[in-house]
Structure formats: structure tokens, C-alpha cells
Structure 1
Amino acid sequence: MSTSDEIIVDARRLLCPLPVIRTQDAVAKLPPEQLLKVICTDPGALQDIPAWARIHGHSVVHTETVEREYHITLRTAAKA
């Protein structure tokens, strides 16, 4: 898997804490510096996922609101 390929996590219609849990589960399977886009409908995820990412060394690359969905793009932490 190339680091330029973006992985999508569909967390639409899930409420806290499920978008974060789905993100955590996906990140655990990814290599360092991989892009991951989370698509969700819970507005709380706009704070929860970036907070989780910072705690675990991942970075938020981009966030956007598209109609009633929130897209959060992360880059997994570099290998320690």
C-alpha cells in the first residue's frame, strides 16, 4: 500500500464514540504516514477525532464540511 493512497472510513450515522473507535481501528491496520479520510455525520467528531489524533501522534491534514457530512483527513504518525 502506497502512502499516497487515501483510505476511507465511513462513520456516517454513528454517534460518539463510534466515529473515533472506527478511526482508531482503521489506523491500527495502516502503515506510517498513510492518509485516512473519515466521513461522519456526528458534529462532535470534528473535535473528538483531531483530539484523539494529537494524543496518538497522528496529524490532521484537512477538515471540511460537505453538506451535512464532515470529512476529516488524517496522516498516521511516522514510524518511531
Structure 2
Amino acid sequence: MSEPLVVQALGKRCPLPVIMLAKLAAGQPAGTRIEVLADDPAAAVDIPAWCRMRGHTFVATEADRHTVELR
């Protein structure tokens, strides 16, 4: 497995972490992992919700690191 792509959204407030995630995810192949570094508490809710709406897999949250796998 290759290294995940990273969205650096620390210090950004809702909705910017999800917007940045969506922009990076566009055009990426299935199986791509993306880690979103976000310290906005809303990201812990918004990122899994974005995954559900887009059909991607929300893998995990560890502190301010949210991991997504594209489908």
C-alpha cells in the first residue's frame, strides 16, 4: 500500500477541511487513502458524513488525523 495523500487543514474551520478533502479526492482512483489533518471539532462529524454521502470508506480518527479510503 502506498503512502496516503495528506490534506493539511489544521487551523481551518468548517467547512474548509471537507472542501479541501473533496478537492484532493476528485480524480483519484479507488483505493486511494487520504489523511485529513484537522483540529476543528466539526471535522470528526463532517468527514465521516462526507464519506457516507460519496460512497467512500471512513477508516479512522486518531486525535486530529482522519483517514478516508476512496471507493
Equivalent residues in 2 for 1:40-59, closer than 5 Å: 40-59=38-57
Unaligned runs of 5+ in 1: none
1:63 aligns with 2:58: no
Give % identity. 38
Q: Which has more strand, going by share of residues?
A: 1
Larger Rg: 1
Which TM-score applies when normalising by structure 2?
Answer: 0.93
- Using the alignment, how far apart are the partners of 1:10 and 1:29 within structure 2? 19
Aligned residue pairs: how many? 71
Unaligned runs of 5+ in 2: none
On the 8 A contact 1:6/1:34 being kept in 2, the answer is yes
